[in-house]
Structure 1
Amino acid sequence: MPSLTRVEAAERAALLTVESYHIDLDLTAGDTGFRSVTTIRFRATPDSTTFVDVKPAQLTSVRLNDTTIDPATLADDRLVLTGLLAENTLTVDAEMAYSNTGEGLHRFVDPADGEAYLYAMSFLDDGPRIFASFDQPDLKAPVTLSVTAPENWLVAANGAALHPPTGGRWEFAPTVALATYFTSLIAGPYHARYDEHDGIPLGIYCRRSLAEHLDRDADEIFTVTKQCLDRFHELFDVRYPFGKYDQAFVPEFNAGAMENPGLVTIRDDYVFRSAVTDSERELRATTIAHEMAHMWFGDLVTMRWWDDLWLNESFAEYLGTRVTAEATRFTGAWTTFGLRRKGWGYAADQRPSTHPVAPDDVPDAAAGLLNFDGISYAKGASVLRQLVAWLGDETFLAGLNAHFAAHRYGNATLADLLTAMSTASGRDLSEWTELWLRRPQVNTLRAEVTVADDGTYTEVAVVQTATPEHPVLRPHRIGVGRYDTDDSGERPVAVLRERTEVDLDPALDKGRTVLTELTGRPAAAVLLLNDGDLTFAKVRLDDASAAAVPQVLPGLTDSLARAVLWTATIDAVTDGERPVSDLVALILAALPGETEVIVVEDVLKLARTLIDRYLDPERRLAALGYVTQACDRLLGTAASGGSVQLAAARGLIGASADAARLTGWLAGAGVPDGLAIDTDLRWALVGRLVVLGVAGEAEIAAELAADRSAAGEERAARCRAALPDPAAKERAWQIIVSDTSLSNRLVEANAGGFWQPEQEALTESYVERYFAEMPAAARRRTAWTADQVAKLAFPEYAVQPRTLELAAALLERDDLTPGLRRVVTDADDDLRRALLSRSAGLL
């Protein structure tokens, strides 16, 4: 079907005012579909013509006012409505299909017990897979839902249940005005836990096979929820506006979570069945806070069109991290943001597909989906953090509260928010908006330092640069930290001598700011730009500071400063300015003493990506040996049974080539004290042994027999795709490019396991097959799943000029889906960097 364009949306919004939706679903019709009867009441310009969106398996009947419309007139999932009255009632009766892609009404059968579970995902333009609607963000209306379900099922929705169900019939209270893409429900034999806080009913749900795991963590989930609610109520004048606050952990979800008012849906990977690190618990907490922030940014006040996506995601990202750090036990959330989320933003902003945080125009809804990336989330949140540093927190919050007061339960634009912010601050934000929100790409801040013979600074300057393609310099407020080592104690520590707050204003200094306040001061071992991580910019150290990092980093007590230093090092390697060997040496020097689990996890993950892509096989094997050594040393110093120990063990399993040791761990031999080889760690061991050619189908089958769960099936699928066997590769490839019967998660598991850097010769023929077969494969699937599969299935380890030639030829075609074009463009850029690094000898 054609994607709704901005022009079409504006024309329809000018004609219509939607008064209400009544949606009646019958979920008892069988395993493949359900009945949906939607009644829409709306006002319209008399005698006008418009269309309603509906994506049925079969359209049964349509009645507009007193007129029956022929269902056969449905075309491209649009039903034309003519001769509208001032007041209209439209009733659409349809048979709808369940999905297996996490879109529309998703149906999942739990392999653990055979029970079926449903959940709705109406996001962006998938609501019409469930009910007929005028599906665009600015036609908000109250929704009343009725559901007929099997009598042993639990059903929950945006609104509260009006009374206990009778004969499987559930009736829900009308909601306040909602955008159609927020309409949601869950249905099935869900396990539920309930609580209450500050007058707000709370609920959490999961499938029955995960009940014991949810019960174990229920207190933590409810505590985080309550703490976040309290903090948002302190920040905002408007209390949580949607009655109850339910959170449903649902299977095979294709995103992290979805901010449906009154019924947030979250991937049930967050119901932990094995040991996890504190960073994984923190991620669950920030997800809870992020979705709660949407209750104000997105739900209470909704963007008018998808060009203002940042009004949803950037604000939720910023406030989710902030509230987690301020209100919960996860006080280091900004360190995680600095390493993990900003790294995602930096990567996205440097690719050819970069776009502004707030683009001038998004032509249709499909183009809007492409902008759910590190720019709209992480860069946008970073820009907001910089804005707070510039305006001050009190002024920033005053502007937000004025925005809510002016547009509550309605829609708003960037201009509306800027009006509120400018009024609150008394500042003209037009230039800031142009430079930070309307222009893409990231700046680089470099320290230029000269030191006198007496060890004092002669001059310290910060030089800001931009790419030739996007030559924009921006104002930045940053911290500049001076760090030295102190060897007087039992172990060396790094001491912050002084942190100076600096404003960089290219309008005044043309991109070179001299820090006169440091002239004549004793030179520090490390001069750290963006200390405190307040701005969105890449950092490059001066040569002396870079040389001192291996000595200073292990003793640096500030985890956020460590994150900035690690990010600067990794980014310099990614850009080909420093060799991978520098990063590996720093891992050996600094990681064994690391105490912050997120630093361990992300440094190992990011380093592994660079090692696997940037190094030829011989050097790759040597580098992984050093990484294994660092993990081994960390295992020797980490607290028994703690998060760092678990992160080190995972890193060792992923990097080690010692099959005998890994096999021993799987059998329970030689396992470090305190480390539990539980279900998830067993799968990690089996997966690595499969890649090493030591474990095979028998071991995978045995592991799956012991773990008859959805997670077990996904891990088994990934392991089978990783088998170093031609027949196994062909089976996995056919699933990747052809099979639409499997769920989104199982297809993604096959794609995620297919390419292994150790199997370059085995998979060589599939490099050309990717570029030949993926266009048709992408068209077989819905956009969200197709894009994920295309990304995971890209031959990222085929770092050869031929791969770039194939990518270039594919991108010349005019029949690619927008998502596939974006995936290949980005992956091609990553490969180009890797090939340049290899060609330059930066190994």
Structure 2
Amino acid sequence: MSLTLDEARARAGVLSSVSYSLDLDVTGLETFRSLTRVRFRSAAAETFLELKGALTVSLLVNGAAVEAAYDGGRLPLTGLSTEAVNEVEVIATLPYTTDGDGMHTFTDPADGSRYVSAYLGMDNAAKVFACFDQNDLKATFAVSVSADPADTVLANGAVVSHDAGRWVFATTPPIPPALLVVAAGPWHSVRWTAELDSGTSLDFGWHARRSLAAELDRDAAELRRTSEACFAHYADLIDEPFPFDSYDQVFVPGLNWGAQEMPGCVTYRDELLPRGAITDTQRAIRAVIIAHEMSHMWFGDSMTMTWWEDTWLQESFADYMGYRVAEAGAGFSDLRVEVEIGSKPWGYRSDARRSTHPVAPLATDVPDVDTAATIFDGISYAKGGACLVQLAFWLGDEEFMAGVNRHLTRFRFANATLADFVESLEASSTKDVRGWVDAWLRRPGFDTVAVRREGDVPVLERDGSRPHAFTVAAYDSALRLVGRRRVELGAEPLSLPEFAGLTVVPNAGGETFAALRFDPASWETLSGGLSRIEDPLVRAVLWSSTALQVRSRDLSADDFLDLVETHLPAETRADIIEGVLSEARSVVIPQRVPASYAAGAVARVAAAAAAGLATSGEDEQRALAWAATLAATSADAGLLRDWLDTDRIAAGVPLLPTTRWEAVVRLASLGEADARLIAAERDRDGTVEGDLGALRALAARPSTVAKDAAWSAMLAPGVDNRRFGALASGMWVAEQAHLLRPYVAAYLAEAPALATRGQAFAIEVGRAFPRIALDAGQLDALRAALAGDVPTILRRSWEDHFDDRE
């Protein structure tokens, strides 16, 4: 049962002064022991703890043994004192998980090492310990862990002592139960102590699986430099001191999120520490994620939302600060390009669906935690981050940061709402902050900024209701930059006489969140010379605009692919190359190209990739970007085999392990790689990535036997998230739509039951939606399925897929 808003409000209204003492024993192979002592004051004689999936439970309430009326999800507490502090002790035996929700266990195939980590977050803390699992019942945590004596254990607090596998950690400041972390295993670690400007010092650490020791050592200097630079920049921006006593960062196996902001000990999915070489785009995105998670130490961990309607209050801020601090603090340049090409399209897609919601919805719009799980989406992250870019640009950075700092100081180790944030901003600005918030954060959807002509004079018009501040760039007929101007656009059209006769690009600096619509002459100039525009940010804005036009059907898939073939091979930025090709492969082809034309569309992407690779010259980053797509789309089996044989894509350019597996999977989908070749590649690799790559390749083979085997493996009891996702990724091949017809029907029939395993697995089931073009009959079948009983999280995913294809 998912905790409801009403239940959370009622419980928060009677409980206070909560603290936990938690003792975990993770030495068992099948189950672990969880001992929780929770102290609290209560104004009511009854309440309840959450505890999910416990195999055994014993309960003491204020020293007296009580028969636990446990229902598998909740533990009722009765006879509580309303005068004195209550102490409840719960001893439970709980199962490990393999789906990234709860106490996750993983055995590394590379060396047999075992790792046990508590991956919590929304609705998962109760899978590890008995707790009041809601954000506004923050508490201190005193944590002890018994683990294999050969293991290192990491947690939120600094280590107080450890001996013979017994680890004791410092008591944390008040944090939500969902932000507890424990990570045990034979970690390879890089540790150091940094002197802070305040005259104090702080212990830092980076950790990874033992089999990734070489990769961690490869990147250790950069990871340390990035961490320290981001930390120093936050110290300049934020008045409040760092809230915790140490700062560990660990690459963990099996994490469902890209990273999680656990106080004092951030976890990252270990795909962010890739084998082989790491590309510049990967380095930049990883730096953004590091800065994003670090921002959460203040935005989310110290100042925490009260209920889930304010997910944006931490995630949008972290999205905004991640890019800002990685660029200004850690020195990764032009990250606004990545925002436009990689982040904002996600926001636009999310905001164009029926499931759109305000960046800051009302609390009553999020009635329970399962509903809350559906708003960790492109609106709470990408759109919300873009809104904050607009807010800072509109207010001015000094006033914006003054309001932010006021807010963080007011709510240090406390909970806050949108109303609280508005009060903080209003105290630092003379502008109509409340009106801006109502227009931008309380209303779904996005505006369109249109360019029309009055004679030779460009005129900007707004189709929508929000105030916009942004930069306009003006170009001559050869697309040379002639001028730039900051403008504010409201309900009245804005004439730009100084740019008469020129082509103008609104939002050239990416400052606002809006669709663009050009007059015919401007679009002809821009689409004809896109690759000649010097500013990569403007190119990214225009590529993002074309993707949005494909979604709205104002631009055909053919026309989009024409732009890809004509202009993308000349692109100099690897991040733009990767972003556009990802849009083509994962969005345009499955959603806008009929199945009978899919092979031709894939071939066009492959042709663009081949042309781009041929012109890359000595630019290794461009070559690596092009090769990743060519490996996944080429029909030239000889080329792909040559890459596998030489382990090179060109002289001096290595075949990255991820690209190598793309080539193997592609060969398998073409019928050019049998089970023996795939097994040999898996054995050659010898890692979990190799195991997953082999599953993808086996599932990609163009035969009913292969598809049956993959589908059966996806339905196997207890299949873990990574294996399920790999099988689904291999299963759905755009050119195999006819072969896959029975499996589309099977997916629609079986997915609702699969999605009942838990939030994380439900999300994975939604991601496994057929990544192929659906015909009218299949869309009707999806519509009929949605009329039935579909779990909340899966329903949101299916409705999104339906809207994307309608």
- Normalising by structure 1, we get a TM-score of 0.92
Question: What is the identity, as a one-letter code, of the residue corresponding to 1:9?
Answer: A
Question: Would the aligned equivalents of 2:599 and 2:734 in 1 still touch at CA under 8 Å?
Answer: no
Question: Would the aligned equivalents of 1:641 and 1:674 in 2 still touch at CA under 8 Å?
Answer: no
- Do residues 503 (structure 1) and 477 (structure 2) align? no
Match of 1:54 among 44, 48, 51: 51
Question: What is the identity, as a one-letter code, of the residue corresponding to 2:787?
Answer: E
Question: Would the aligned equivalents of 2:627 and 2:649 in 1 still touch at CA under 8 Å?
Answer: no
Name the residue aligned to 2:26. 27
Question: Would the aligned equivalents of 2:312 and 2:381 in 1 still touch at CA under 8 Å?
Answer: yes
- Do residues 285 (structure 1) and 287 (structure 2) align? yes
Q: State the 1:574 CA deviation.
A: 2.1
Q: State the 1:652 CA deviation.
A: 1.8
**2-side partners of 1:669 and 1:422: how far apart?**
59
Name the residue aligned to 1:228. 230
For structure 1, the 5+ residue unaligned runs are 452-456, 467-472, 487-493, 833-843
Name the residue aligned to 1:13. 12
Match of 1:438 among 427, 439, 442: 442
Match of 2:684 among 706, 722, 726: 706
**CA separation of 1:596/1:90 partners in 2, compared to 1, >3 Å: closer, same or farther?**
same
**2-side partners of 1:104 and 1:326: how far apart?**
36
Question: Would the aligned equivalents of 1:21 and 1:142 in 2 still touch at CA under 8 Å?
Answer: yes
Name the residue aligned to 1:378. 382
**CA separation of 1:293/1:705 partners in 2, compared to 1, >3 Å: closer, same or farther?**
same
Alignment of 1:406-425 (within 5 A): 406-425=410-429
Name the residue aligned to 1:469. none
- Do residues 791 (structure 1) and 767 (structure 2) align? yes
Match of 1:128 among 126, 129, 142: 126
Question: Would the aligned equivalents of 1:18 and 1:40 in 2 still touch at CA under 8 Å?
Answer: no
Q: State the 1:485 CA deviation.
A: 5.5
Alignment of 1:198-597 (within 5 A): 198=196, 199-361=201-363, 362-451=366-455, 457=456, 459-466=457-464, 473-484=465-476, 494-506=479-491, 509=492, 513-515=493-495, 518-519=496-497, 521-524=499-502, 526-597=503-574
**2-side partners of 1:129 and 1:540: how far apart?**
50
Match of 1:659 among 637, 642, 650: 637
What SS is found at the alignment partner of 1:667? helix
**CA separation of 1:211/1:817 partners in 2, compared to 1, >3 Å: closer, same or farther?**
same
**2-side partners of 1:691 and 1:659: how far apart?**
11
**2-side partners of 1:369 and 1:548: how far apart?**
44
What SS is found at the alignment partner of 1:119? strand
Match of 1:171 among 162, 168, 173: 168
Q: State the 1:56 CA deviation.
A: 4.1
Q: State the 1:238 CA deviation.
A: 1.1
**1-side partners of 2:348 and 2:295: how far apart?**
23
Q: State the 1:275 CA deviation.
A: 2.5
Name the residue aligned to 1:828. 802
Name the residue aligned to 1:841. none
Question: What is the identity, as a one-letter code, of the residue corresponding to 2:710?
Answer: A
**1-side partners of 2:176 and 2:647: how far apart?**
56
Question: What is the identity, as a one-letter code, of the residue corresponding to 1:807?
Answer: L
Question: Would the aligned equivalents of 1:640 and 1:673 in 2 still touch at CA under 8 Å?
Answer: no
- 1:360-413 Cα offsets, whole Å, 9 max, x none, are 121111111110000000100111111111111000111111111111011111
**2-side partners of 1:331 and 1:135: how far apart?**
40
Question: Would the aligned equivalents of 1:588 and 1:626 in 2 still touch at CA under 8 Å?
Answer: yes
Q: State the 1:617 CA deviation.
A: 5.1
Question: Would the aligned equivalents of 1:44 and 1:88 in 2 still touch at CA under 8 Å?
Answer: yes
- Do residues 759 (structure 1) and 748 (structure 2) align? no
What SS is found at the alignment partner of 2:94? strand
Report the count of equivalent residues. Answer: 796
- 1:451-510 Cα offsets, whole Å, 9 max, x none, are 3xxxxx2x42223225xxxxxx11111222111365xxxxxxx4221112221112xx2x
**CA separation of 1:60/1:770 partners in 2, compared to 1, >3 Å: closer, same or farther?**
closer
What SS is found at the alignment partner of 1:118? strand
**2-side partners of 1:826 and 1:117: how far apart?**
35
Q: State the 1:450 CA deviation.
A: 3.8
- Do residues 746 (structure 1) and 744 (structure 2) align? no
- 1:659-683 Cα offsets, whole Å, 9 max, x none, are 2222222222994222212432221
**CA separation of 1:622/1:66 partners in 2, compared to 1, >3 Å: closer, same or farther?**
closer
What SS is found at the alignment partner of 1:193? strand
What SS is found at the alignment partner of 1:685? helix
Q: State the 1:172 CA deviation.
A: 0.7
Name the residue aligned to 1:807. 782
**Percent identity over the alignment?**
39
Question: Would the aligned equivalents of 1:57 and 1:97 in 2 still touch at CA under 8 Å?
Answer: yes
**2-side partners of 1:316 and 1:217: how far apart?**
24
More moved, 190-199 vs 143-152 = 190-199
Question: What is the identity, as a one-letter code, of the residue corresponding to 1:503?
Answer: E
More moved, 601-610 vs 637-646 = 637-646
**2-side partners of 1:639 and 1:217: how far apart?**
26
**2-side partners of 1:32 and 1:771: how far apart?**
33
Question: Would the aligned equivalents of 1:103 and 1:122 in 2 still touch at CA under 8 Å?
Answer: yes
More moved, 770-779 vs 383-392 = 770-779
What SS is found at the alignment partner of 1:343? helix
Q: State the 1:625 CA deviation.
A: 3.5
Q: State the 1:442 CA deviation.
A: 1.4
**CA separation of 1:417/1:622 partners in 2, compared to 1, >3 Å: closer, same or farther?**
same
Name the residue aligned to 1:489. none
Question: What is the identity, as a one-letter code, of the residue corresponding to 1:65?
Answer: N
**2-side partners of 1:520 and 1:243: how far apart?**
56
**1-side partners of 2:601 and 2:734: how far apart?**
13
Q: State the 1:110 CA deviation.
A: 0.5
- Do residues 817 (structure 1) and 791 (structure 2) align? yes
Name the residue aligned to 2:79. 83
Question: Would the aligned equivalents of 2:135 and 2:307 in 1 still touch at CA under 8 Å?
Answer: yes
Alignment of 1:689-700 (within 5 A): 689-700=667-678
**CA separation of 1:58/1:505 partners in 2, compared to 1, >3 Å: closer, same or farther?**
same
More moved, 616-625 vs 438-447 = 616-625
**CA separation of 1:548/1:187 partners in 2, compared to 1, >3 Å: closer, same or farther?**
same
- 1:230-270 Cα offsets, whole Å, 9 max, x none, are 11000001121111110010001101000001110100001
Question: Would the aligned equivalents of 2:748 and 2:782 in 1 still touch at CA under 8 Å?
Answer: yes
Name the residue aligned to 1:768. 745
**2-side partners of 1:43 and 1:155: how far apart?**
32
What SS is found at the alignment partner of 1:598? helix
**2-side partners of 1:326 and 1:584: how far apart?**
35
Q: State the 1:636 CA deviation.
A: 2.8
Q: State the 1:75 CA deviation.
A: 1.9
Question: Would the aligned equivalents of 2:46 and 2:78 in 1 still touch at CA under 8 Å?
Answer: yes
RMSD: 1.6
Q: State the 1:343 CA deviation.
A: 0.5
What SS is found at the alignment partner of 2:605? helix
Q: State the 1:283 CA deviation.
A: 1.1
**1-side partners of 2:688 and 2:322: how far apart?**
29
Question: Would the aligned equivalents of 1:277 and 1:644 in 2 still touch at CA under 8 Å?
Answer: no
